């Protein structure tokens, strides 16, 4: 039996990945970090990521102005810092100094990476979609940085070794275990 | 030490949720199911979900035409059917008949829900964003359907009981365990 509800926090689509998005403050000369749970790839060609950012956040204006952002994937060990960067504002504090995360220069954009994160994705904003409380930035991926230790022999990312953080209605979760490979059905159903 | 890579399958942003999107074929009179891993909430007000759909897929044209879709969240027990609906095309087969999933009428849209999925989210397309290989449909959430068994006493969704499926570079994964609550840092860092 199902119950019908109007959508509203925290009844939404989950699970989602927890990501740390870095952006540049060209006026102040530093970089900020915002924690987001609303982020997803959207296309292969061009390769793009969309992120939903509250228009009132400090980072929103920075990304809008610079036209770039970096998606950094934190590991479980960065849980405390990840929560901190989500509940505080870069208007008042320097989050790189506060968290002791290390600034690592990017290759294609001016916005820095977070060195401690095992995956960093440099993005250039291709579209900004006005969507009420939040704006959606569509970013074309320019370059990926992958920690050697989480690479497979085929050069792909072994995300299980990255130990990413999930978000489920206000709780942080770890990933569990592999339950199957894409294509496992071979296009056929069990009898 | 990090290695730089051009983005390309399967080096993208993960983990992501596996969702089953239903859409209506008004000409044929039936409904289709497409499995997607590129889906995310994006805004609170209005509440919206974005999904990335390959423009060559049968479902793309259906959603474009009807201006609506339903996001159904499958459980681990639907893994085989979820893979099947991702690797086959509704042009040739009726996926509801093939999977034995049950059609459940929606309340706000004409597109049906998948009864067996513990969460169903009715969406009306508010924007279509042309993005190369994939189009992004931004859907405003009209109504959520939540199985009584996965509801909390507060009326929110307990996604851990929904046993959702994650996608990590071509593998299906389960969720792990709760590692903390949003706000755990209380805006302060550990000494």
Nearest to B15 among A6, A175, A181 (CB): A175
What end-to-end distance do the CA atoms of chain B give, in Å? Answer: 27
Q: Which residues face A52 on adjacent strands?
A: A136
pLDDT of residue B153: 86
Encode chain A (191 residues) as per-residue pLDDT tens digits. Answer: 999 998 887 778 889 999 999 999 999 889 999 999 999 999 989 999 999 999 999 999 999 999 999 999 999 999 999 999 999 999 999 999 999 999 999 999 999 999 999 999 999 999 999 989 999 999 999 999 999 999 988 888 998 899 999 999 889 999 999 999 999 999 988 76
Residue B11 scores a pLDDT above 80: no
- A133 Cα to chain B: minimum distance (Å): 5
Q: Which residue in chain B has the smallest CA separation from A20?
A: B13
**Helical H runs in chain A?**
58-66, 79-87, 95-99, 159-162
Quick one: B16-174 is in which CATH superfamily? Electron Transport, Fmn-binding Protein; Chain A (2.30.110.10)
Q: Which of A10, A11, A42 to mutate to test the interface with B (most CBs of B within 10 A)?
A: A42
Angstrom distance (rounded) from CA B5 to CA B58: 32
Where residue B79 falls among pLDDT bands split at 50, 70, 90? very high
B97-154, pLDDT tens digit by residue? Answer: 999 999 999 999 999 999 999 999 999 999 999 989 999 999 999 999 999 999 988 8
pLDDT of residue B191: 61
pLDDT of residue A77: 97
pLDDT of residue A9: 74
Q: Across chain B, what does the average pLDDT equal?
A: 94
- In Å, how far are A6, A73, A74, A94, A121 from A97, measured between CA atoms? 41, 19, 17, 6, 22
Residue B190 scores a pLDDT above 80: no
Across the interface, whether the CB atoms of B171 and A148 are under 8 A apart is answered no
Q: Which positions in chain B touch A183 (Cβ < 8 Å)?
A: 83, 87
ipTM at complex level: 0.94
B147-174, pLDDT tens digit by residue? Answer: 999 998 888 899 889 999 999 988 999 9
- Kindly list the domain boundaries of chain A, sorted by start residue: 16-174
pLDDT of residue A191: 61
Angstrom distance (rounded) from CA B141 to CA B47: 6
Across the interface, whether the CB atoms of A41 and B13 are under 8 A apart is answered yes
**Percentage of residues of chain B with pLDDT beyond 90:** 82
Q: Which residues 69-98 in chain B show a CB within 8 A of chain A? A: 71, 73, 76, 79-81, 83-84, 86-88, 98
pLDDT of residue A190: 73
Helix (H) or strand (E) holding A30: strand A30-36
Across the interface, whether the CB atoms of B14 and A159 are under 8 A apart is answered yes
Q: Which of B139, B157, B12, B53 is nearest to A14 (CA)?
A: B157
Nearest to B174 among A80, A179, A182 (CB): A179
Where residue B6 falls among pLDDT bands split at 50, 70, 90? confident
Q: Which positions in chain B touch A15 (Cβ < 8 Å)?
A: 15, 17, 159, 164, 166, 175
pLDDT of residue B62: 97
């Amino acid at each position: 039996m199902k119950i019908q509800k109007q959508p509203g926090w925290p009844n939404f689509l989950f699970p989602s990945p927890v990501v740390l998005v870095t952006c540049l403050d060209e006026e102040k000369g530093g970089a900020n970090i915002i924690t987001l749970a609303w982020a997803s790839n959207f296309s292969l060609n061009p390769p793009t990521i969309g992120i939903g950012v509250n228009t009132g956040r400090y980072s929103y204006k920075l990304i809008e102005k610079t036209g770039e952002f970096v998606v950094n994937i934190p590991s479980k060990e960065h849980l405390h810092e990840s929560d901190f960067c989500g509940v505080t504002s870069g208007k008042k504090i320097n989050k790189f100094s506060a968290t002791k995360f290390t600034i690592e220069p990017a290759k294609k954009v001016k916005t820095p990476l977070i060195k401690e994160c095992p995956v960093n994705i440099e993005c250039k904003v291709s579209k900004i979609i006005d969507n009420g409380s939040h704006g959606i930035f569509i970013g074309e991926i320019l370059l990926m940085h992958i920690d050697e230790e989480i690479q497979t022999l085929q050069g792909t990312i072994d995300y299980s070794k990255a130990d990413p953080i999930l978000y489920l209605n206000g709780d942080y979760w770890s990933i569990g275990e592999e339950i199957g490979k894409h294509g496992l059905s071979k296009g056929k159903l069990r009898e």
